[in-house]
Every structure is written in structure tokens, then in C-alpha cells.
């Protein structure tokens, strides 16, 4: 069997690995200590925050079928949240999510289903791939200390485009594919409270603000009792403030959200901030993945389609199907 290296254990990399697992020996290299990439959960004591992706509403039959077993097993559950839009600081549109358009989340945390998907796959966590070099008929994978991590027949890079370009700068064909899409940033702040704030919503979409999303993360299924708010900045604000001091970002976002909700959120007993440099991307036109059967290299990820969980699934699935044929 051929040996395949996949860079990144986000959803697209995990899906590609699962699809190819029967046809090849697959190894995933992941720089972080966990799996799931931007499907992420951070805990502190009793508080738990999904500080990346919030939920997903499956569109295609393929994705719906893929989700079914994990829904049956309880790794994915419906979040029947009370949703509001906030315009001019007024709650303008209220709606309860229900079975007519299911809003799904991982349970008991967003990254639970990514963990489920990773079972049985050889994943080298805490391993940042620094360079990928073509040598004879093989791909050599090196870490930051120029240590050889292995030689592979094929390599699939499932990172955001800017990171993929750093890993594969030597091929002009890749460069022409990769320089175009630019991902947008996002800040997430995580606030934990001693008592329930009794807000009248579970998820809120403020319009015309630097804050783009406020959710009561503790209202998602199977979360604990500890009251948790997860707040996102807009992509534009994050792009402009990405290098700012993180405490200042936290302060500003608490202030803005307090004003939007007319509630002082400084009383939070837990406060944290995370900056996503490559968070999201608008809808793209063109291929759902990149495959070069001359050099045995492929690229996948949400960024080929749109910054959405389903897009990551589609890209990872389709690149693997195309590679199965090539193998």
C-alpha cells in the first residue's frame, strides 16, 4: 500500500484520512495538541467554550448521511436555541431553531465529533510540519528542527492557504492556485459567570457592530451548568486589530458587548481571548480541492468553497475520492 501524509487534523484532513484509510497507510501531522482545527473547544474549570465554529446546518444529502451515525451515537446533537438579531441595539427578530432547519453542534463539546472521527487514524499531534520536500519519488516531511518525520508517496495539505503556501513554495503551480484566496481573521472572547445572566436569547447576531456573534455556549446540549458566553468580533475588525495587545482586545470586546446588551459583562469571573488569524473565507468559485497526479500532491480545506464546516467536509471527501482513483 502507498504511504500518505496529511498535514492538519481539521475536519477536511480527518475526512480525507478516513476515506483513504482502506486504500493506503495514512499518517496525519497536526501542530496542536488536539484534533478538529477550527472546530475547537477550550475549557477552564467548569467553563467550556466552543471558541471556533458555533454550529452547522447541513445542506447536501452526502453530508446529512455522513452525520447520521454520529447523531445516533450522540456525538452530534441539535441545538434548539432561541435566536435573535440585534439592530440598533434592539432585538429585532426572534426565532426558535427547531427540526425544520436543524442547527447541529458536537456534544458534549463542539470538538467531540472531530475526536470521534479521529479514532483509528494515526495522528502525530504536537507536530508542526515546517517543510515538505520532493526527493526522488517521495515527499520528505520535516519538523521545525529540520528533523525528518518520514518519507511518503503522497502528501495532502489541509491547512489554510497561507500556511499551505509556506509549506509548498517550490512549485509555481501551487503558488498560482494559492495566492488568490485570503482568509479573514476573527477574535473570540470567552466569559464565564458565577450566576446565570438570564439573557432572553441563546444566540444573537448583532448587525452593524464590531461584534458579530454572541452565544450562551452553556445553552448547547450536554454542556455543564456553568454559565458561559462566547463572543466573536467581525472579521473586518479582527483584520484591523490582529496585532493589538490581547488584553486591550478583550477589554474592547467586553465593553462593546456590554453596550449592545445593556448589561455590564465585566462581572465575569473568567475572561479569555483567542485570535484566529485564518478564521473564515467568503464563497469561492472553482475547484473544491487541488490534485496534482504528476507530483502526487493534493490540497483541501474549507477555503476552496467557503468558511464552513460542510465545505471542509466536502473538500476533504472529494479530494480523497479523486485520489482513490489515482492510487
Ligand X SMILES: Cc1cc2nc3c(=O)[nH]c(=O)nc-3n(C[C@H](O)[C@H](O)[C@H](O)COP(=O)(O)OP(=O)(O)OC[C@H]3O[C@@H](n4cnc5c(N)ncnc54)[C@H](O)[C@@H]3O)c2cc1C
Which residue's CB is nearer to ligand X, number 106 or number 301? 301
Q: How far is the CB of 194 from ligand X (least distance, A)?
A: 26
- My answer on whether omega of the bond before 42 falls inside 30° of 0, hence cis, is no
What is the residue whose three cell numbers read 464590531?
A: 210
Do 29 and 163 touch, CB atoms closer than 8 A?
Answer: no
Which residue's CB is nearer to ligand X, number 129 or number 260? 129
- 5 vs 26: CA distance, rounded Å: 6
Q: How far is the CB of 18 from ligand X (least distance, A)?
A: 13
Do 300 and 48 touch, CB atoms closer than 8 A?
Answer: no
- β-strand partners of 213: 232
Which residue's CB is nearer to ligand X, number 1 or number 95? 95
Q: How far is the CB of 195 from ligand X (least distance, A)?
A: 27
Q: How many residues does the chain have?
A: 327
What three-state secondary structure class fits 146? coil
Which residue's CB is nearer to ligand X, number 38 or number 42? 38
Which residue's CB is nearer to ligand X, number 48 or number 158? 158
Q: How far is the CB of 246 from ligand X (least distance, A)?
A: 15
- Give residues in contact with ligand X (CB under 6 A): 7-13, 29-32, 37-39, 52-56, 128-129, 158-160, 163, 186, 188, 232, 276, 279-280, 301-302, 307-309, 311-312
- 65 vs 67: CA distance, rounded Å: 5
Q: How far is the CB of 259 from ligand X (least distance, A)?
A: 21
What is the residue whose three cell numbers read 466573536?
A: 232
Amino acid at each position: 500500500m502507498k504511504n500518505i501524509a496529511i498535514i492538519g487534523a481539521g475536519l477536511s484532513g480527518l475526512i480525507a484520512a478516513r476515506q483513504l484509510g482502506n486504500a493506503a497507510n495514512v499518517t496525519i501531522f497536526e501542530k496542536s495538541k488536539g484534533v478538529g482545527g477550527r472546530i475547537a473547544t477550550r475549557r477552564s474549570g467548569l467553563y467550556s467554550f466552543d471558541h471556533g465554529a458555533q454550529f452547522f446546518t447541513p445542506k447536501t444529502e452526502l453530508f446529512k448521511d455522513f452525520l447520521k451515525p454520529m447523531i445516533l451515537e450522540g456525538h452530534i446533537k441539535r441545538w434548539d436555541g432561541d435566536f435573535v438579531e440585534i439592530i440598533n441595539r434592539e432585538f429585532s427578530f426572534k426565532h426558535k431553531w427547531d427540526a425544520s432547519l436543524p442547527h447541529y453542534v458536537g456534544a458534549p463539546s463542539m470538538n467531540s465529533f472531530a475526536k470521534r472521527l479521529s479514532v483509528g487514524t494515526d495522528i502525530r499531534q504536537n507536530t508542526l510540519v515546517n517543510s515538505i520536500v520532493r526527493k526522488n519519488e517521495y515527499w520528505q516531511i520535516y519538523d521545525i528542527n529540520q528533523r525528518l518525520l518520514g518519507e511518503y508517496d503522497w502528501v495532502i495539505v489541509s491547512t489554510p492557504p497561507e500556511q499551505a503556501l509556506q509549506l509548498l513554495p517550490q512549485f509555481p503551480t501551487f503558488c498560482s492556485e494559492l495566492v488568490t484566496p485570503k482568509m479573514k481573521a476573527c477574535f473570540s472572547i470567552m466569559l464565564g459567570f458565577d450566576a446565570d445572566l438570564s439573557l432572553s436569547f441563546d444566540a444573537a447576531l448583532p448587525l452593524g457592530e464590531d461584534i458579530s456573534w454572541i452565544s450562551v455556549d452553556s445553552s448547547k446540549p450536554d454542556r455543564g451548568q456553568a454559565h458561559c458566553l462566547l463572543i466573536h468580533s467581525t472579521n473586518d475588525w479582527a483584520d484591523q486589530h490582529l496585532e493589538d495587545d490581547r488584553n486591550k482586545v478583550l477589554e474592547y470586546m467586553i465593553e462593546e458587548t456590554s453596550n449592545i446588551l445593556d448589561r455590564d459583562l465585566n462581572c465575569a469571573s473568567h475572561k479569555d481571548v483567542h485570535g484566529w488569524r485564518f478564521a473564515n473565507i467568503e464563497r469561492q468559485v472553482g475547484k473544491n480541492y487541488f490534485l496534482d497526479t504528476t507530483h502526487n500532491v493534493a490540497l483541501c480545506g474549507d477555503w476552496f468553497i467557503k468558511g464552513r464546516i460542510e465545505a471542509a467536509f466536502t473538500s476533504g471527501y472529494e479530494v480523497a475520492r479523486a485520489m482513490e482513483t489515482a492510487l
